[in-house]
Chains A and B, each alone.
Chain A
């Protein structure tokens, strides 16, 4: 009998002796108890209330609504100073707002222009980002109605929706962005170099 066979026989013998105990329910719960430490306290509904993170499905979008028509004033008051009255962006030092519209059809060119209109795959991303981090100097200061309205304004200026279209928790995730299919998983073909 080789050494390897001997080891195998011994392992089977051990499994025979203790296998039943290892698989029993009390042993499992013992193991679970050892894998957790009991630190932390349960989250309450009140704890969850301030937070949001909107995926493309729209899950978690708040109540409220707004149209592009209503959003024009929100934009003028809160966004135009950095992003420009024409939404073309102001890259100057101390301002630095990204261009928001235009650039469709430019992505494969020598001068690609990446904007909400030409590049962003989901309208929900715009809502999440505006509610999360805009306006730059006063993030979180817009009401949900104002966020819906200013998102509708950008989308309507980009001619993705009509100025009268109402954006809300149902309509926003259904918006089809022009570059929805413009993204591919990262297959990193560079890894094949020198192989």
Chain B
């Protein structure tokens, strides 16, 4: 971890003073010391991004990168099977999930972030999908794994993995976003870099069986209105899911991006709840219980509820609303100079398809349509781009997503006007506000609230 706090300091907006933080409250306010550490940790990634942008230095003689024979041009490389499971180039070592140590007290019950700023397209590589565990990664032996369906069903059943693999299957691309993604931003610009502001989202191809098929196999009784999903990890995490959603588009997945789920994503079996908050996508899925009402367990009462300014809290706020973020240029990057840049980013909505993405380079005063690079699919990210010629003067870059319901991604101020701003333990979840990246005259990019 290199440390260049001074070079980063100039890129960082002034931070608010320290406030008390709690293990599970992602809304903590950064203190300057910790922020500096974080900035140091980020420097490696940011440095590489900057280096890649540097123009070739002018030289009287020939460019050594051309005129000198490189080792890889002189010596034979590894043969096949030297790397039976391929990994990225050694020069991409900085492209990793990273956490923010001060956000949570224990890495066993914590979260890390997808390096969105280093990725393109819409598919997140399996090893880079952010992690959130409540009791660490369960290392489940698939031969010993069972999925039980019980409760208000005609015929309670147990499935082995072999049983599940025999059902008709489907392949769907879905985003998964933690309800607390960007939640640190409720109280001000907390973290620089979109890995940290927006990295609790990923998007992969899931292969699995429609949950409906499994439930029909057991036969849901007419008074079965809710479904409890339970994981096999040491926290045995549970969430209640309305039966209507369970029978609609939920899925029991065993593969992601064509290969078996990674252990940290729920191997051998996870629930897929398209468009709804990530906490419901129970990993290491071992049990489904059908009931007549919600269980009101810890994850849907104490957590994942939205305290409003009037002291009341929203419960079962499950849908992830339309959201977008510019991933290039984004916080902690440095533009080498004026000229052309391909602004690029991601947009998604839990309520169907993305209809439109717009970009502003003047802090939201004027908006231009961005190019959507893939065919929008339900509950799936789109990659958008926008050609921008930077004139070297300060700019504020924003993007906003419109989904097929007509809903437009709001500003943070609009959300706070509805939900209230009652301190850092008030609003934590469902912050889908427009993100602003300020570009200063030196090309430095920072997270600002504009």
Chain A residues with CB under 8 Å of chain B are 35-37, 39-43, 47-48, 51, 53-57, 89, 91-99, 107-114, 116, 119-122, 124-125, 128-129, 132-133, 136, 139-140, 182-191, 193-195
CB <8 Å contact, A193 and B407? yes
Report A-chain residues with C-beta under 8 Å of the C-beta of B238. Answer: 53, 128, 132
Beta-carbon contact of B228 and A53 below 8 Å: yes
Q: Say how far B279's CB is from chain A's closest CB, in angstroms.
A: 14
Are A128 and B148 in touch, CB under 8 angstroms?
Answer: no
Contact B23 A56 (CB under 8 A): no
Given contacts A108-B422, A139-B234, A194-B408, contact A94 B106 (CB under 8 A): yes
Say whether A189 contacts B418, CB under 8 Å: yes
In the bound complex, how far is the Cα of B295 from the Cα of A132, in angstroms?
A: 14
Chain A residues, CB < 8 A from B167:
37, 39
Contacts of A57 in B (CB 8 A): 293
Q: Assess A133 versus B135: contact at CB under 8 Å? Given A98-B22, A183-B313, A184-B313.
A: yes
Contact flag A54-B295 (CB < 8 Å), given A43-B148, A91-B20, A112-B422: yes
A112–B426 CA distance with the chains assembled, in angstroms: 6
Once the chains bind, are B217 and A40 in contact (CB under 8 Å)? Answer: yes
B186 to chain A, nearest CB (A): 13
Q: Is B414 an interface residue (CB 8 A)?
A: yes
> Which residues of B are interface residues toward A (Cβ below 8 A)?
20-24, 101-102, 104-106, 109, 134-135, 148-150, 155-159, 163-164, 166-167, 213-214, 216-218, 228, 230, 234-238, 287, 289, 291, 293-298, 301-302, 305-307, 309-319, 321, 405-408, 410, 414-415, 418, 422-423, 425-426
| Beta-carbon contact of B407 and A191 below 8 Å | yes
For B312, what are the chain A residues with a Cβ–Cβ distance below 8 Å?
A: 107, 182-184
Q: Which 7 A-B pairs have the closest CB atoms?
A: A96-B105, A108-B311, A96-B23, A40-B157, A43-B156, A186-B317, A107-B311
When distances are taken between beta carbons in the complex, the residues of chain A under 8 Å from B306 are 186
- Helix, strand, loop or mixed for chain A's interface? loop
Q: Is the CB of A93 within 8 A of B105?
A: yes
Given A95-B105, A112-B426, does the pair A139, B236 have CB atoms closer than 8 Å? yes
Chain A to chain B contacts (Cβ below 8 Å), 20 pairs = A39-B163, A39-B217, A42-B157, A48-B148, A91-B20, A94-B106, A96-B106, A98-B22, A107-B422, A108-B311, A116-B302, A128-B297, A139-B236, A184-B312, A185-B314, A185-B315, A189-B418, A190-B414, A193-B407, A194-B406
CB distance from B155 to the nearest CB of A (A): 7
Task: Determine the chain B residues whose CB is within 8 A of the CB of A140 once the complex forms.
Answer: 236
How far, in whole Å, are A95 and B166 apart by their CA atoms in the complex?
44
Pick the contact of B23 from A98, A111, A183, A190 — CB < 8 Å?
A98
Query: Which residue of A36, A41, A109 contacts B423 across the interface (Cβ within 8 Å)?
Result: A109
Contact residues in B for A124 (Cβ distance below 8 Å) = 296
Chain A residues, Cβ within 8 Å of B155: 42
- Least CB distance, B126 to chain A, in whole angstroms: 27
CB pair B415–A132 under 8 Å, yes or no, is no
* Chain B residue at minimum C-beta to C-beta distance from A91: B22
Chain A positions within 8 Å of B309 at CB level: 108
Known: A55-B293, A55-B295. 10 other contacts (CB 8 A): A37-B167, A40-B214, A89-B22, A125-B302, A129-B297, A132-B235, A139-B236, A185-B315, A188-B317, A190-B414
Nearest A-chain residue to B411, judged by Cβ? A193
Task: List, in ascending order, chain A residues with CB within 8 A of B415's CB.
Answer: 190
Give the Cβ gap from A34 to chain B, nearest Cβ, in Å: 11
Residues of B with C-beta under 8 A to A36: 216-217
Q: Which residues of B contact A112 (CB under 8 A)?
A: 307, 311, 422-423, 425-426
Q: How far is the CB of B298 from the nearest CB of chain A, in Å?
A: 4
Look across to chain A and name the residue whose beta carbon is closest to the beta carbon of B314: A186
Say yes or no: A47 contacts B148, CB within 8 Å: yes
**In the bound complex, how far is the Cα of B317 from the Cα of A193, in angstroms?**
17
Whether B235 contacts A190 by the Cβ 8 Å rule is: no
* Contact status A110-B305, CB under 8 Å: no
Other-chain residue from A95, A97, A110, A129 in contact with B298 (beta carbon distance below 8 A): A129
Residues of B within 8 A of A125 (CB): 296-298, 301-302
B314 and A183 contact, CB distance less than 8 A: yes
Q: Which residues of A contact B164 (CB under 8 A)?
A: 39
A151 to B: closest C-beta gap in Å = 13
The one of A43, A109, A187, A190 in contact with B150, judged by C-beta atoms closer than 8 angstroms, is A43
Min C-beta distance of B343 to chain A, whole Å: 23
User: Would A53 and B307 be within 8 Å (CB), given that A37-B213, A40-B157, A41-B158 are in contact?
Assistant: no
Chain A contacts for B423, CB-based, 8 A: 109-112
Query: Inside 8 A of B287's CB, which chain A residues have their CB?
Result: 51
Residues in A neighbouring B315, C-beta threshold 8 A: 183-186
Q: How far is the CA of A41 from the CA of B134 in the complex (A)?
A: 30
Question: CA A70 – CA B412 in complex, angstroms?
Answer: 48
- Give the distance in Å from the alpha carbon of A141 to the alpha carbon of B156 in the complex: 28
Q: How far is the CB of A12 from chain B (nearest CB, A)?
A: 31
